[in-house]
Structure 1
C-alpha cells in the first residue's frame, strides 16, 4: 500500500467514526439537545471536509461546483464548535438570528466562488482545480481559515474561563469532568488546527513528499482524536450540565455597591462583619454543606441574605470562591469523622458522601489541598 492509499484509508476511517458519533449524539437521550445537535453539526462538517482526501477524482471533475462548495463548508467548522462550547457551558443559551454572523465567511466565500468559479466552463474549472495551489482565491481562503482559528481559539478559551469563574462563585461539587472535558477537547482540537495551518504552509513550498507525510501524520492524529470522542460519548452520555450565563461575578457587582461616603462605609463594614459571623455560625450549626448540590442561591434563601450580597460577602470580603468556601466545611467534617475511632469502620467513600461530596476525585483533591495529605494517610496518622 502506497502513502496515498494509506492516507485515503485513514481519512475514510475518520469520516466513518465521525458519522458514527454524530448518529449516536442524535439518538442518545439528554436534556441538552441543542449542544448535541451542534456537536453533530460540527462532526458532519468535519466529515464533509475530510472526505476530500479520498473522494474520487473523476467524481470531482463531473461535479466541480459541488467540490468548490465542499471547500467553503470548512469555514463553518470552527464557528459551530464555538457555539457548541457555549451551549454546553450555559443552559440558557439559545440560537438567535445574531448567530448567523458566524456564517459570514461561508457566505462571502460562496459569493466569491459564484463570481469566479461556479459559472466557468468545464475547461476553466479543470484548469483552476489543477492549479488551485497557485490561485489567489485559495491563498485568501486559507488565510481566512487561519484567522478563524486564531480568533475562535481566543474566544472559546474566554468562554471556558467565564464558565469556570461563575461555577466556582455560585456552585459546589461542580462536575469537574465537564470543565476538564471541554478544556481538553478545546485544547486538543485547536492544537490540531494550528498544526493544520503549518501543514497548509507546506502546500506552497513545492515539497510534495513533505506535504504528503504531513497529511499522513495529521490523519493519524485526527483518527485518534475522533476515536477518543467516541469513547467519551459512550462512557459519559450524560456528561454535560450547564449553568446560567446571567449569573454575575462578584467583581461585576462590586462597582455598583461601592459608596464614597465614609459613614456609610463604616456602617457597611459593621454589617459585613455581622453577616460573616452569622454565615459561619449557620454553616457550623445547620450544616447546609451536606447537600451535595448546594448552590449560592439556595444558601441565600436559607440564611436570608440577598444572593448578590452573599456572593460579594464570600467571594470578595472572605476572599474565597463559594466552591472552596463550602468544601472547606465538608473537609473539616470529614477530618473529624476520620479522627473518630467510633467511625473507623466507615470507608473513605462512605465518608465523602456523608459530608456532601459526590466524587472521589473531587474529595481527594480538596482534602489534599487543605491538609497536604490523602484521606487515608490522614486517618492512619490520627
Structure 2
C-alpha cells in the first residue's frame, strides 16, 4: 500500500472511531450532560478535521465545502475551553454571549470570501491548486496558532483559580479534577507543538515526509481522544464541579492601610479566641468525619458567616480549608494506627473511618504530614 493509501486508511479509522465515541458520549447517562455534549461536539469537529486527509475530492459544484471544512478546526479549542468551564463549575450554563468564541471561524470564512467563495468554478479550482501559497492560508495558519495558544493559556489560568477556590472551600475528592484537566491541557499543548512542527514540513521537507507526519498526528490524536473518553467514563468522580460564585479569600479581604492595620492589631485577642474555639469544635464534634464537608457546611455548624470562617482559616491561620480539615483526619488516622486494639483494621477501613473517600488522596495527605505512607507509619510503630 502506498503512503497516500495508508494515510487514507488511518484517517477513515480515526473518523469512524471518533464519531462512534461522540455518539456514545451523547447517549450515555451522566449527571454532567453539558460537559459530555461539549466534548462530543469537539470530537465530531475533530472527525471532520481528520476527514481532510481522506483520499477524495469534492465535486466542483460543492468545492466550497472543502474550504469550509478546513476552517472547522477554529471551533475545536473554544469547545474545549467551554468543556473545562462546564467540568470545573457545576453551575456553568451556555449563554448567547459564548457565541463570541466563534468569531475567528467567522472571520476566516469572511477572509476567504472575495477570492474564493464569491468566485467562479475555474477560479476556485486554481485557488485550490495553489492553496498552500495563498496569502489567505498564511493568515489562516497564523490565526490558528494565536487562537490555540490563547486558549491553552486561558485554560491554565482557569485551572489555577479553580484549584485555589477548591482548596479554600472543599476537602474531597482531593484535586483530581484539577490534575486531570491539567494533564489534558498539557497534552493539547504538546500535541499542537508537534502539529505546528509537522505543518512546517509542508514548506521545508519532502512530500513523503509530510505525509508520514500526517499519519503520525492522526494516530496520536486518535489515541488521545480515546484516552480522554475512557478517563471520563471510568472516573466519573473527577467531574464534580464547584460553584462559580465562590470567591477567593484575598478577593474580599479589606485593603491594607494604616487604619485597617490598627483595627486588626486591636483584634488579635478576638481572633486568637476564635481560632481556639474552632479548634476545640473540630476536636470535640469531629465534623471532618464527613467526607463531603465544605466550608459552607462547617460555617453553618459553627454558626459563623462563611466569609468570616474563610478569612479565619485561609488568612489568619494561613492554611487552606483543604489542609486544615485533612490535618484532623490524618491525626485521627495516626491515633488509630497507634492503637493496638485496632491493628486488625486495614488502611482502607481507616481512611473511610476518618473521612477520606479516596486511597490516593489519603496516602498523599498522610505522606505530606508524616513523610511516611500509612503502612510504613504502622510498621515503624
Same-fold call, TM > 0.5? yes
**Residue in 2 that maps onto 1:333:** 332
Q: Aligned pair count?
A: 381
Relative to 1, partners in 2 of residues 1:262 and 1:222: Cα closer, same or farther, differing over 3 Å? closer
Determine helix, strand or coil for the equivalent of 1:255: coil
> 1:271: how far off?
1.8
Partner of 2:69: 70
CA shift in 2, pair 1:255/1:174, >3 Å: farther
The answer as to whether partners of 2:87 and 2:240 remain within 8 angstroms in 1 is yes
- The answer to whether the 8 Å contact 1:19/1:44 transfers is yes
Matched residue, 1:86: 85
- Whole-Å separation in 2 of the counterparts to 1:237 and 1:16: 25
Give the corresponding residue for 1:48: 48
**Does the CA contact (< 8 Å) of 2:4 and 2:55 recur in 1?**
no
Aligned to 1:270: 269
**Any conservation in 2 of the 1:10–1:223 contact (CA below 8 Å)?**
no
Structure 1 residues 234 and 247, CA, compared in 2 at 3 Å: closer, same or farther?
A: closer
Cα distance in structure 2, aligned partners of 1:75 and 1:357:
42
Match of 1:171 in 2: 170
Partners of 2:170 and 2:344 in 1: how far apart? 31
Say if 1:166 and 1:248, in contact at 8 Å, map to a contact too: yes
Residue pair 2:18, 2:222 contacting (<8 A) in 1 also:
no
Query: Does 1:16 find its partner at 2:13?
Result: no
Cα gap change, 1:238 to 1:373, in 2 (>3 Å) = closer
- For the residue of structure 1 that corresponds to 2:159, the secondary structure is helix
Specify the alignment match of 1:31 in structure 2: 31
Question: TM-score by structure 2 length?
Answer: 0.96
In the TM superposition, 1:235-274 aligns within 5 A as: 235-237=234-236, 239-255=238-254, 260-261=259-260, 263-274=262-273
Per-residue deviation at 1:119? Answer: 2.4
Moved more, 17-26 or 232-241: 232-241
Q: Whole-Å Cα distance in 2 between the matches of residues 322 and 55 of structure 1?
A: 57
The equivalent residue for 1:146 is 145
Aligned match of 2:110: 111
Written as runs of structure 1 = structure 2, the 5 A alignment for 1:109-258 is: 109-205=108-204, 207-237=206-236, 239-255=238-254
Task: Specify every segment of 5 or more residues in structure 2 that has no aligned partner in the other structure, as ranges.
Answer: none
Q: Is the 8 A contact 1:334 1:351 kept in 2?
A: yes
Instruction: Report how far residue 379 of structure 1 moved.
Output: 0.9
Q: Deviations over 1:44-89 (max 9, x none)?
A: 11111111001512x3545211111111211111111111111110
Query: How far off its partner does 1:262 sit?
Result: 5.5
Is residue 323 from structure 1 mapped to residue 322 from structure 2 by the alignment? yes
Structure 1: give runs of 5+ residues left out of the alignment: none
Q: Report the aligned-residue RMSD.
A: 1.7
Report which stretch shifted further, 202-211 or 15-24: 202-211
CA distance in 2 between counterparts of 1:312 and 1:96 reads: 33
Q: Which digits, 9 at most, give the CA deviation of each residue in 1:125-184, with x for residues without a partner?
A: 111111101000100011100101111110011011111111000000135332222111
In 1, Cα distance between the equivalents of 2:96 and 2:226?
A: 34
